[in-house]
Chains A and B, each alone.
Chain A
Amino acid sequence: MPAERTYFEDVPLDEVVETPGMTVTEAHVSLYLGLAGEPPDDPSRVPDLLPLCLSTGLGWRVPRPPLAVQAFLGLEWEVLRPLRVGDTVHGTSRTRSRRAMRDGGVVVEEHRLVDQHGQVVQQGRFTFLVARRPTEGGQR
């Protein structure tokens, strides 16, 4: 029995979902720089793409079962304010549009990352290809 997932048919439009927070630490920065292969800069400065990378994982920690993503198709993203080590961010998201395709559907989500002062630090849109709910007795 596979874990429950949110299929295309079940994605609610315009419902705002809020994630728990994540304090960005020196460990996050160091792991990110090693993985990305970016040269180290000021150690208290959070690399601008790191919060974006944290946003997808934060989206997993909400009451709704994770989206049955078949493919991440693309994104548009804006970095509005720099983050420092020790800042805490959480995410908010909502589904802006759903378009049915033959094998699944395209879902566009609007995402924001908000710091401990309530300021939006990064924002944008993610586009996913999401699986349809499997039919009874069909393949999963």
Chain B
Amino acid sequence: MTDGRRYFEDIRVGEEYESPGRTVTETDIVLFAGLSGDYNVLHTDAEFMKKSIFGERIAHGLLGLAIQSGLFYRSGPVYATLAFAGLRWKFKAPIRIGDTIRLRARVLDKRETSRPDRGLVVVERKVLNQRDEVVQEGETDLMVERRSGRAG
């Protein structure tokens, strides 16, 4: 252990983590619209959304995905992640302005890869709101550095 990060060998299938909460604000949504260029009325037109099934603007689904990615770093010891390899993701319910979301994650699987310096870690994730409703969930594939492959 030199830098406190967790390598492929350190991670165990079945480990669970829970993050602190984060309140999603109007500012987050406005900034994400500017960054992504996604100005869909769902996220930007309060008057239009008053007449929708949601009744108000909701967060971009991908904003929720980005925020949970940040929350993962605050859920426990940080992985020695080399790359995000992929994900399978469902948006189950809207994230509204003022909602406080948190991440519950569990290591689902670990696999060797063809490269000796890294392994694949599959993490199951659920994003919960303040009422414990699952708003987003899915699986993410992370390429994590191997301790044994570092010197080579």
Contacts and interface: CB of A to CB of B under 8 A. Distances in A.
A31 B73 contact: no
Contacts of B65: 49, 52
A97 interface: no
Interface residues of A, number: 35
Interface in B54-99: 60-63, 65-67, 69-71, 73-74, 78, 83-91, 94
Contact of A76 (B39, B48, B87): B87
A67 B67 CA distance: 25
B37 A54 contact: yes
Nearest to A61: B37
Interface residues of B, number: 39
Contacts of B73: 37-39
Nearest to A31: B35
A77 B86 contact: yes
Interface string B39-52: 11010000010010
Interface string A32-53: 1001111100000000110011
Query: Which of A60, A74, A124 has the most CB atoms of chain B within a 10 A radius of its CB?
Result: A74
Contact of B66 (A49, A72, A74, A75): A49
A35 B38 contact: no
A78 B89 CA distance: 12
A78 B86 contact: yes
A28 B35 contact: yes
A12 interface: no
Given A71-B91, A76-B87, A57 B38 contact: yes
B40 A66 contact: yes
Interface of B: 22, 28, 31-32, 34-40, 42, 48, 51, 53, 60-63, 65-67, 69-71, 73-74, 78, 83-91, 94, 138
Interface of A: 2, 22, 28, 31-32, 35-39, 48-49, 52-54, 56-58, 60-61, 66, 69-79, 82, 124, 139
